Amino acid sequence: MSTTPVIAPETPEPQSSLSPIKRIFGVFFSPKATFQDIARKPSWIAPVAVLMIIWFCLSVSLAKHADWLEISKDQIAKSKFASRQFDQLNDDQKSRAYEQAAERSKVIRYVRGVVGWPLLLVIFGGVYLGVFKLIGGARTNFVTAFAITAFAHMPVGLKELISIPVVFLKDPASIDPENFLASNPAAIFGNDLAPWQLVPLAFLDIFNIWALVLVAIGFSAADPKKLPLSKSLGVVFGVTLAFMVFFTGLAWAFS
């Protein structure tokens, strides 16, 4: 009696992962496929390194080229609390205080150039993970959330890269170290509005909005059943609105 041989089904070969460089370019040109690849095999070293290098170069450019004495005077003038304290000083004391404030600002700029992006990404990654789990029931972990957050903020890195030559083309006294590129309404109306009124306008930055959309695409790719894109967008922009309200209130309280 002859027997028919049983042919075992072919096991599909595991899909090859994109290289870090392809992922960095992929978030700009094919974000959905790129974030699907990131969700399958999370990695974050490449985007964090790129963001840190660009931000450090921009921070050094700002520290060396901006007129920190004028920046410090402008910041103090816009703060009622600081202005009241300065009004009690004589001219020599004011001059020394302005110089000390300028030196502190430059040092802080260098420190932010080193720790800024890692700290920011850890905070954002943790916040997004918590909110997506709480509201969306997302089935993911911190490593994946951190990788998505890091790659999604590459448009902000592009903004900072563009800003480096722009800083050197500007008059040092006209540089705003917190709003160095005219990519949001706050950069246009900066001299006409109170600090707390500029905060919500700064959140309307085109590069930041681009990054937020990428964050939503990334988390949707990580768990498409629990997080369709529409829901993911709602969560991301809801978190952003909460941050905007908080920082606007903080700026109002200290203005």
Q: What is the mean pLDDT of residues 235-241?
A: 94
Q: What is the pLDDT of residue 129?
A: 94
* Distance of alpha carbon 205 from alpha carbon 183, whole angstroms: 5
Q: Is 157 within a domain? A: yes
Q: Is 19 within a domain? A: no
Residue 1 has pLDDT above 90, yes or no: no
Mean of the per-residue pLDDT values of the chain: 86
Burial (CB count <10 Å: 0-12, 13-18, 19+), residue 146 = buried
Residue indicated by tokens 């918590």: 130
* Distance of alpha carbon 216 from alpha carbon 232, whole angstroms: 5
Q: Is 122 within a domain? A: yes
Band (pLDDT 50/70/90 cuts) for residue 5 is low
Q: Is 18 within a domain? A: no
Residue 64 sits at φ, ψ, to 5 deg, of: -90, -30
Q: Is 16 within a domain? A: no
Q: Which of 14-23, 161-170, 245-254 has the lowest mean pLDDT?
A: 14-23
Digit-coded pLDDT (tens) for 150-198: 999 999 999 999 999 998 888 887 888 888 888 888 888 766 777 788 8
Measured in whole angstroms, the distance separating CA 182 from the mean position of its chain's CA atoms is: 16
Q: What is the pLDDT of residue 175?
A: 81
> What's the domain range around 216?
31-254
Q: What is the count of structural domains for the chain?
A: 1
Q: Is 158 within a domain? A: yes
Q: What is the pLDDT of residue 191?
A: 67
Q: What is the mean pLDDT of residues 39-52?
A: 94
Q: Is 190 within a domain? A: yes
Q: What is the pLDDT of residue 95?
A: 79
249 HSE (CA, 13 A, CB side): 6
Q: Is 25 within a domain? A: no
